[in-house]
Amino acid sequence: MAGAFTDLPFVHPLAPGVYHVRSPEKGRFPHCHSLLIDAAQAVLIDSGIGQERIRALDRVRRIDVLIISHSHPDHILAWTALADRHLLLPAETPDAAFDILALGTRFTGNPEDGAHWAQRIGGQHRIAALRPPDGRFGPGQILDFSPVQLRALRAPGHLADHYGFFIPGAEVLWTTDIDFTGFGPWYGNPEADIDVFAEDIRRFAAISARVTCSSHKPPVFGDAADAFRAYQRALARQRRQVWELCERPRTLEELVDLSPFYRHRFPDRRTQQGFERQLIGKNLALLLRDGKIAERGGRFVQVC
Ligand SMILES: [Zn+2]
């Protein structure tokens, strides 16, 4: 036992027994911010703050419970620092999360790219596969850490097992990867879905909260309506970018090579192309559905 959580410069109180834990590098990949509950048990949501900050928290008070919001690498980073604690995972987290190659296949859609992801992204950041959990939580479930309660809010547009949380009473909303970044919503894995993501944003925006926290940006105190609106608008901007590139007939691979999302700044080209193929392909499907583009001989072109 050493001092108080607030003695640590990266811990900020949000409400009695509820703390925001800032990650290194301002929440940028491979990190994410955490939420800390100091109640009947000490509970950490996500481990992307890294080993060093986890150990510093653990010295103030032993963490009892680790909740993982979803199985993306920046949210399970350094989870092994709490490997012997009570581990809670979403009901929807598949067994692929327990094997790094299977996780790579899940995120990329095929075993070859999956092995590359596991070696390049997993290896570089020392991402360890999760272990089978001690408990699971599902949509709408209340996790009671008296006197603090967490309501689990499923938001599967980003990833099938992606959750946010709401703390009634404290009115703290944790939106996880509905994250208000300038990039906009990220749906680069095969199982992600743009329309579902848009609906997730609408549902979270309708929740009245005193403070709204996401995994990769600073908390928003007070009304977060503008932040939600800007984030929702980013979906339309992303769609328009893909539509504009269809000014002349282009194949999916030609569009991927133009890299409208990452602008070739992703640190690994093969992984970038895989994610960009998903990001572009999902927009093409919606543009086709809405009659904005047509497909002619494997090329996509504007029709209006
Ligand atoms: Zn994520």
CA of 303 to the centre of ligand 1 (A): 34
Rounded to the nearest 5°, which phi and psi values hold at 80? -65, -15
| Nearest alpha carbon to residue 128 among 113, 139, 118 | 118
pLDDT at res. 3: 85
CA of 162 to the centre of ligand 1 (A): 7
155 in a structural domain: yes
39 in a structural domain: yes
Which residue, of 235, 265, 286, is where some domain finishes?
235
CA of 163 to the centre of ligand 1 (A): 10
Together in a domain, 175 and 289: no
Could you report the per-residue pLDDT of 205-234, keeping only the tens digit for each? 999 999 999 999 999 999 999 999 999 999
pLDDT at res. 30: 96
Could you report the per-residue pLDDT of 109-147, keeping only the tens digit for each? 999 999 999 999 999 999 999 999 999 999 999 999 999
Together in a domain, 162 and 293: no
Number of domains forming the structure of the chain? 2
CATH of the domain at 276: 1.10.10
Together in a domain, 212 and 254: no
Which residue, of 235, 262, 281, is where some domain finishes?
235
Cα dihedral 55, 92, 207, 210, rounded to 10, equals 0
113 in a structural domain: no
Together in a domain, 20 and 155: yes
Together in a domain, 199 and 155: yes
Together in a domain, 85 and 198: yes
Rounded to the nearest 5°, which phi and psi values hold at 47? -120, 20
207 in a structural domain: yes
Together in a domain, 266 and 226: no
Sorting pLDDT into bands at 50, 70 and 90, what band is 2? low
185 in a structural domain: yes
Residue 41, token pair as written in the block? 């048990």
> Per-residue pLDDT for 19 more than 60?
yes
| Nearest alpha carbon to residue 101 among 116, 86, 90, 87 | 116
Could you report the per-residue pLDDT of 236-265, keeping only the tens digit for each? 999 999 999 999 999 999 999 999 999 999
Together in a domain, 202 and 250: no
CA of 112 to the centre of ligand 1 (A): 22
CA of 185 to the centre of ligand 1 (A): 10
Together in a domain, 231 and 262: no
> Per-residue pLDDT for 1 more than 60?
no
Range of the domain at 269: 246-302
283 in a structural domain: yes
CA of 200 to the centre of ligand 1 (A): 14
The SS3 call for residue 202 is helix
Could you report the per-residue pLDDT of 51-82, keeping only the tens digit for each? 999 999 999 999 999 999 999 999 999 999 99
125 in a structural domain: no
CA of 304 to the centre of ligand 1 (A): 34
> Per-residue pLDDT for 50 more than 60?
yes
CATH of the domain at 170: 3.60.15.10
Stated pTM of the model: 0.97
Averaged pLDDT, 167-171: 97
CA of 230 to the centre of ligand 1 (A): 19
13 in a structural domain: yes
CA of 53 to the centre of ligand 1 (A): 20
Together in a domain, 140 and 271: no
Together in a domain, 230 and 86: yes
